């Protein structure tokens, strides 16, 4: 699904049938390994990769900071700490039906009673109903993970972050069950109101309604979509969430781990639930079956927005009609151009994403400082747009053009902060440094667009480069000396390599080859092999008693890594550079260097091909 803002692609959400999103799903898992040194554990939830849970995400201790942070990264306070407006991120679970149900019995899933709140530091238990302080207890935040979790122990967890790369999903035991208007937090006692609801009177009204209706256990967060709703509409959503939690509790008791307890919606209904607000002009759907599903969902939970759902019936593909395909292709480019003529370059590394801002063709009109400032200000908006579109998360370093004036650096920081307000994903931003660097983080819950749509290059194995032809040719010349020392009685040494490498040896290294032949008293035969990788070559020595067709082979360098099971093992005569295991076939432009004859001196003109 694509989100367009002013006809420009702002976000793209991709979910394949065989790769359904698991973020927000609830599982009954079994602990398979406890790592005291990392204060974390691996939990089997029935998927290919075990989930990972850190001690900070275990139930019973202080909540992680991210649990009470909104899209701008601001902290949310519970009602037991300060009775004030709070905000939370909009996320994960669907409303199914508004039928009423009583809340599950206290402690059915291990949650604390409403009157208990654990605080770190003083290790105190307080009663929010009376304001009194109870006896001191040992805070679970100080209890090591190995004392709280044991191997084969069964626990209830929710997926907080999708599997990314080789890592398994990130898990948490702090459960949140979002509906259309409310988010139920069964393991946490608090009330929060979205800061996107600007009217303080409306925020107080909504908080009071939730306070009046909520059950003795658990808490609720009022989402932005709740603004202006009646008590009855909010009550229906609350009853649904309580019924959903009750069903999860019953299923947990009757199911053995590992097991899925609750599955989230597919991407279509999930996006409609989370992103379809009064600000959205229309939702255009090209599949009649999905169109009917969305209409039913909207009629049940957002009847006032029913008229904005439209069925696309043009013969042209919907993504082509709205120019989305072209924008997706551009979103995979490394370089993004600015309207002024400047550009930004986005590079991904194992640890972070680096974004470099350049003036490019933009030369400005006044002075150099003004040119740098204008380029940086323009880049702030484009950087945020690309972060949203490409779904880039984790640590991000932005290298703005250096500016001498501190006031200009502050302008860029504030412009970036303002641009980030459009991004619903939680971010944390540091001020720009004297060197023009900005450090920021962006919450990552799923794969980036690049990881979803692309694979590492099979030719360079994702490095972005290969050894140059002169470098490989120099390796071959050194290997010729090594083969001579290993096989002193050999008369000929045959080298097979990529045609470009053989051509370079003939054209650029011909004199060195002739000198080496005279020095070593050997004959060299060079053969172009189109199926070889650019870095791959084979050198074999042939003695007088051996048949030229059955040479002995010596590998100059063993593979650094084992071959992938998906790739057939190389032939005995193949030599690969490093860990290369593939053999691309070249096209018609390949230049084949002729093989030298086995007997007699080789004229220079024949060596040159």
pLDDT of 435-490, one tens digit each? 889 999 998 877 889 988 888 888 888 888 899 999 999 999 999 999 888 888 88
Report whether pLDDT(343) > 90.
yes
Residue-level pLDDT at 415: 94
Residue-level pLDDT at 470: 93
Q: Mean of the pLDDT values across residues 378-382?
A: 94
CA distances from 85 to 3, 78, 108, 209, 328 (A): 30, 9, 30, 13, 39
Q: Which of 55-64, 85-94, 441-450, 503-512 has the highest mean pLDDT?
A: 503-512
Fold for domain 469-607?
Hypothetical Protein Ychn; Chain: A, (3.40.1260)
Residues 161 and 445: their CA atoms lie apart, in Å, by: 4
Q: Mean of the pLDDT values across residues 94-109?
A: 36
Residue-level pLDDT at 217: 83
Which is higher by pLDDT, 104 or 423? 423
Identify the three-state secondary structure at position 33: strand
CB 399 within 8 A of CB 355: yes
Q: If you ran DSSP here, which 8-state letter would residue 69 be given? A: B
Q: Kindly tell me the burial class for residue 407, based on how many C-beta atoms sit within 10 Å of its own C-beta (0-12, 13-18, 19 or more).
A: exposed
Report whether pLDDT(300) > 50.
yes
Percent of the chain at pLDDT > 70 equals: 75
Of the ranges 144-148, 285-289, 537-541, which one carries the lowest mean pLDDT score?
Answer: 144-148
Report whether pLDDT(96) > 70.
no
Radius of gyration of the chain (CA): 32
- State the pairing for strand pair 394-399/353-358: parallel
Of the ranges 127-131, 206-210, 305-309, 430-434, which one carries the lowest mean pLDDT score?
Answer: 127-131
Residues 565 and 576: their CA atoms lie apart, in Å, by: 16
Residue-level pLDDT at 326: 92
Which is higher by pLDDT, 170 or 141? 170
374: enclosing H helix or E strand: helix 368-390
Residue the block writes with tokens 């398994």 = 168
pLDDT tens digits, residue range 236-290?
888 888 988 988 988 988 888 899 998 878 888 888 888 887 788 999 999 999 9
In the chain, list all ranges with CATH 2.40.50.140.
23-265
Residue-level pLDDT at 346: 95
Distance of CA 593 to the CA centre of its chain: 46
Mean pLDDT computed over every residue of the chain: 76
What lies within 8 Å, CB to CB, of 501 at 6+ separation is 469, 472, 473, 476, 534, 537
Report whether pLDDT(369) > 60.
yes
251: enclosing H helix or E strand: helix 231-254
Residue-level pLDDT at 223: 87
Which is higher by pLDDT, 233 or 165? 233
Report whether pLDDT(206) > 60.
yes
Render the burial of 573-609: b for 16+ CB within 10 Å, e for the rest: ebbbbbebbebeebeeeeeebeebeeeeebeeeebeb
CB 221 within 8 A of CB 183: yes
pTM: 0.68
Report whether pLDDT(99) > 50.
no
Q: In DSSP terms, which residues pair with 438 in a beta bridge?
A: 398
Residue-level pLDDT at 235: 86
In the chain, list all ranges with CATH 3.40.1260.
469-607
Which is higher by pLDDT, 318 or 196? 318
Q: How many CB atoms lie within 10 A of CB 245?
A: 26
Report whether pLDDT(65) > 80.
no
Report whether pLDDT(337) > 90.
yes
Q: Which of 254, 29, 25 is nearest to 152 (CA)?
A: 29
Position 20 confidence tier, pLDDT thresholds 50, 70, 90 = confident
What lies within 8 Å, CB to CB, of 415 at 6+ separation is 376, 377, 380, 381
DSSP string, 434-460: TTSEEEEEE---S--HHHHH----TTT
Side-chain-side CA neighbours of 213 within 13 Å: the count stands at 25
CATH class of 23-265: mainly beta
Residue-level pLDDT at 420: 92
Q: Mean of the pLDDT values across residues 44-61?
A: 84
Q: Mean of the pLDDT values across residues 109-115?
A: 38
Residue-level pLDDT at 141: 54
Report whether pLDDT(566) > 70.
no
Residue-level pLDDT at 563: 29
pLDDT tens digits, residue range 155-164?
999 998 888 7
Of the ranges 17-31, 127-141, 564-578, which one carries the lowest mean pLDDT score?
Answer: 564-578
Position 364 confidence tier, pLDDT thresholds 50, 70, 90 = low
376: enclosing H helix or E strand: helix 368-390
Of the ranges 44-48, 165-169, 397-401, which one carries the lowest mean pLDDT score?
Answer: 165-169
Residue-level pLDDT at 491: 87
Residues 31 and 336: their CA atoms lie apart, in Å, by: 45
């Amino acid at each position: 699904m694509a989100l367009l803002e002013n006809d420009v692609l702002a976000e793209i959400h991709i979910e394949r049938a065989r790769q359904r999103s698991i973020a927000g799903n609830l599982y009954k898992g079994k602990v398979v390994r406890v790592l005291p040194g990392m204060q974390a554990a691996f939990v089997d939830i029935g998927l290919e990769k075990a989930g990972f849970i850190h001690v900070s995400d275990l139930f019973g201790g202080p909540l992680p900071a991210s649990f009470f942070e909104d899209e701008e990264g601001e902290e949310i306070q519970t009602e037991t700490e300060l009775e004030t407006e709070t905000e939370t991120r909009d996320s994960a679970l669907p409303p199914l039906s508004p039928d009423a149900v009583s809340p599950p019995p206290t402690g059915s899933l291990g949650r604390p009673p409403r009157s208990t709140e654990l605080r770190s530091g003083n290790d105190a238990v307080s009663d929010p109903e009376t304001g009194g302080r109870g006896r001191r207890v040992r805070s679970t935040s100080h209890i090591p993970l190995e004392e709280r979790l044991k191997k084969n122990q069964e626990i209830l967890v929710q997926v907080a972050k999708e599997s990314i790369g080789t890592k398994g999903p990130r898990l948490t035991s702090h459960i949140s069950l979002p509906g259309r208007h409310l988010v139920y937090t069964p393991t946490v006692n608090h009330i929060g109101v979205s800061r996107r609801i600007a009217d303080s009177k409306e925020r107080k009204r909504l908080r009071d309604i939730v306070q009046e209706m909520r059950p003795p256990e658990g808490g609720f967060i009022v989402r932005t979509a709740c603004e202006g709703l009646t008590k009855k509409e909010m009550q229906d959503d609350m009853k649904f969430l309580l019924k959903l939690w009750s069903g999860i509790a019953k299923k947990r008791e009757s199911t053995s781990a590992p097991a899925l307890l609750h599955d989230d919606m597919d991407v279509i209904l999930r996006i409609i639930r989370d992103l379809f607000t009064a600000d959205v002009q229309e939702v255009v759907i090209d599949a009649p079956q999905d169109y009917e599903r969305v209409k039913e969902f909207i009629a049940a939970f957002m009847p006032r927005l029913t008229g904005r759902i439209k069925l696309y019936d043009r013969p042209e593909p919907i993504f082509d009609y709205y120019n989305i395909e072209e924008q997706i292709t551009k979103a995979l480019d490394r370089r993004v151009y600015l309207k002024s003529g400047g550009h930004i370059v986005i590079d991904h590394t194992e640890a972070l994403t680096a974004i470099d801002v350049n003036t490019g063709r933009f030369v400005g009109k006044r002075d150099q400082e003004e040119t740098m400032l204008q380029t940086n200000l323009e880049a702030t908006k484009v950087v945020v747009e690309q972060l949203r579109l490409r779904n880039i998360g984790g640590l991000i370093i932005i290298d703005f053009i250096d500016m001498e004036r501190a006031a200009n650096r502050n302008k860029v920081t504030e412009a970036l902060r303002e641009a980030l307000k459009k991004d619903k994903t939680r971010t944390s931003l540091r001020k720009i440094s004297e060197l023009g660097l900005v450090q920021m983080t962006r919450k990552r819950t799923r794969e980036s667009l690049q990881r979803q749509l692309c694979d590492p290059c099979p030719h360079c194995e994702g490095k972005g480069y290969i050894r140059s032809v002169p470098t490989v040719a120099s390796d071959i010349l050194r290997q010729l000396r090594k083969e001579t020392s290993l096989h002193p009685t050999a008369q000929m040494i045959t080298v097979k390599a990529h045609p470009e490498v053989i051509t370079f040896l003939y054209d650029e290294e011909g004199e060195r080859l002739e000198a080496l032949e005279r020095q070593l008293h050997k004959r060299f035969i060079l053969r172009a092999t189109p199926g070889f990788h650019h870095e791959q070559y084979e050198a074999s020595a042939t003695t007088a008693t051996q048949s030229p067709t059955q040479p002995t082979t010596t590998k100059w360098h063993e593979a650094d890594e084992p071959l992938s099971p998906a790739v057939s093992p190389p032939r005995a005569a193949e030599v690969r550079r490093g860990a290369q295991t593939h053999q691309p076939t070249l096209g018609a432009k390949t230049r084949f260097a002729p093989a030298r004859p086995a007997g007699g001196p080789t004229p220079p003109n024949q060596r040159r091909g």
